[in-house]
A and B are shown apart, each in its own frame.
Chain A
């Protein structure tokens, strides 16, 4: 291996990335926009989880204290009330899941409707019926709150979005780009030089890792200025975990890039891998309570281990020793993918 050749390609690839303004800009804007969007949606007090239709009301926009429905139900948090002029219009909306629950305005006894199979309707029915029971008749319960610092939803989500961006950038930035290079003859031209496959793949990988860490740092700083994320653990440990994550994801990209000249096929394979990884690695939602086989299946994705380690450090204040198993798995995945990628790699097939 000649370091000069590796460095030359590293620099050339980075120049390509930084000069491609559209791709460069998108790499920063994409995670920033998602974080900003979710920050706005979940950050304020106007967030609603349920939509309840009420009728008959002349305007769609209704004021809660004007509604002739049980007061406790009207004051329940996270419910948005939507008015309908007629019952037919309201039923149509409920039937098509535009609203989760439907209440007819008027004195007791109250009429309500729901979709039998809609989970949100089921929950709202419980809330609605509970709101009709006088407080003195309620079963005795004692309310407690968790102590310690509150982990906002955006604090939980933020590392997921950064890791997801890292995953897409690693898989597409290596997997897709190398296939494109193979198709249009860039790899063939490089093969005609003394450059070895190991030097080429190492340069691709190092360049992508550098770009991933650079993007991560810029996006983190930009988002932190707006949302003031709290990191319970060490930033250095966090950076190390992200580095291991970028290594494993980039090496997975190299496996996908090792063969093939069809960009369409590469796109299909990349989608086939990246979408399940995004949904099952707890980027957007937790898999707590999901069937065992789903949680087991999620373990094959490097993103799962990366996110678990990052959230342990960021939200729980875990140290390096606590995330040792995740780091070990990411390292093993990196070695395995590199071995497969290097053995399968072809310059022109």
Chain B
């Protein structure tokens, strides 16, 4: 008799043991994926796996190869070499029926309403989601009968998300879904993505927004110059690359400041950041040097610290 152990997940959704075991098998495996454009290598021997029911975040600076990687996995562009396995098998004809995509940049047929566009896309698939449920989840009711090129940025992203879900996909790709959205629209979109996760779907998300990655992703892969340079959960990455806390001091009157060898530091335009594993020792040292601590702040490291540490601070574009 199968004993089902209930595990309360990160977001409070309920997952059974059988589901958890299923989650251990990668839904998608990427092995040594390379994509060249002439002599330029956009993606260089990238490998990773995505477990079912999780959200993988692909982070990286502009031009790191995120979108190329995701578009090769989506079967939009062919790889130069490497292997992509879906449920342990090479992607077949039915693969496109199983995936949903929200592209970074796309357009739709003109002079169709949001509803007509959804009906059109629905007819292109074998299995389709309940339209009303999708309309409610993505909050499309208010602009359902407007032409699809006459809606706001936030409405458009929710609509594009609905299109990505119209075939009830197992695997959903979201390529920079919140770029260009205001804070309200962004948080609203995150709520919808959380709801999609709660349904047990697997997500691949590319983003520049570290807060978004930290909030939505179970696993992170950081890319730079076409390669994956770090992987892990957000917590693991922070612990591994930016342990301790960051002490931030305004840069005025710090000319005489001496740093302890055990602490890492960086001098920025108007502040100094000291990364330390020993907050008490660090503060004691600052007091000993008569540093004014009035405007001092202490914060825990986050994904942005990891990202900047691994990819550097210099501009890429």
Contact = CB atoms under 8 A, between A and B. Distances in A.
B is a partner of A: yes
A19 interface: yes
A194 to B, nearest CB: 5
A189 B109 CA distance: 10
A12 to B, nearest CB: 5
B107 A184 contact: yes
B74 A12 contact: no
B313 interface: no
A15 B111 contact: yes
Closest 9 CB pairs of A and B: A19-B111, A8-B123, A184-B107, A185-B106, A193-B124, A192-B101, A189-B106, A194-B96, A16-B111
A190 B76 CA distance: 10
Nearest to A193: B124
B108 interface: yes
Interface in B94-135: 94, 96-97, 99, 101, 103, 105-112, 116, 120-121, 123-126
B108 A4 contact: no
Given A185-B103, A186-B106, A189-B103, A195 B111 contact: no
A190 B123 CA distance: 12
Interface string A336-349: 00000000000110
B161 to A, nearest CB: 13
A189 B108 contact: yes
Interface in A1-26: 4-5, 7-9, 11-13, 15-16, 19-20
B105 A185 contact: yes
Nearest to B173: A192
Interface residues of A, number: 26
Contacts, number: 67
Nearest to B119: A8
Interface string B151-176: 00000000000000001000000000
A191 interface: yes
B109 A194 contact: no
B97 A194 contact: yes
A194 B101 CA distance: 12
7 contacts: A8-B120, A12-B116, A16-B110, A16-B111, A185-B106, A193-B96, A348-B77
B194 to A, nearest CB: 23
A191 B111 CA distance: 20
A12 B148 CA distance: 13
Contacts of B109: 12-13, 16, 186
Contacts of A5: 123-124
Interface in A179-200: 181, 184-186, 188-195
Interface string B131-155: 0000000000000000000000000
A114 B76 CA distance: 68
A89 B168 CA distance: 81
Given A8-B124, A19-B111, A193-B124, A188 B96 contact: no
Contacts of A16: 109-112
Interface of A: 4-5, 7-9, 11-13, 15-16, 19-20, 181, 184-186, 188-195, 347-348
Contacts of A190: 124
Nearest to B110: A16
Given A12-B112, A194-B97, A194-B126, A189 B120 contact: no
A194 B167 CA distance: 10
Nearest to A186: B107
A12 B120 contact: yes
Contacts of B99: 192
Contacts of B123: 4-5, 7-8
B111 A185 contact: no
A293 B258 CA distance: 90
B118 to A, nearest CB: 12
B106 A20 contact: no
B125 A194 contact: yes
B111 A188 contact: no
A314 B168 CA distance: 56
Given A15-B112, A16-B110, A186-B106, A9 B76 contact: no
A4 B124 CA distance: 8
B111 A20 contact: yes
Given A15-B111, A15-B112, A193-B96, A188 B124 contact: no
A194 B124 contact: yes
Contacts of B96: 192-194
Contacts of A193: 96, 121, 124-125, 167
A192 B98 CA distance: 11
B84 to A, nearest CB: 15
A19 B109 CA distance: 12
Interface string B61-80: 00000000000001011000
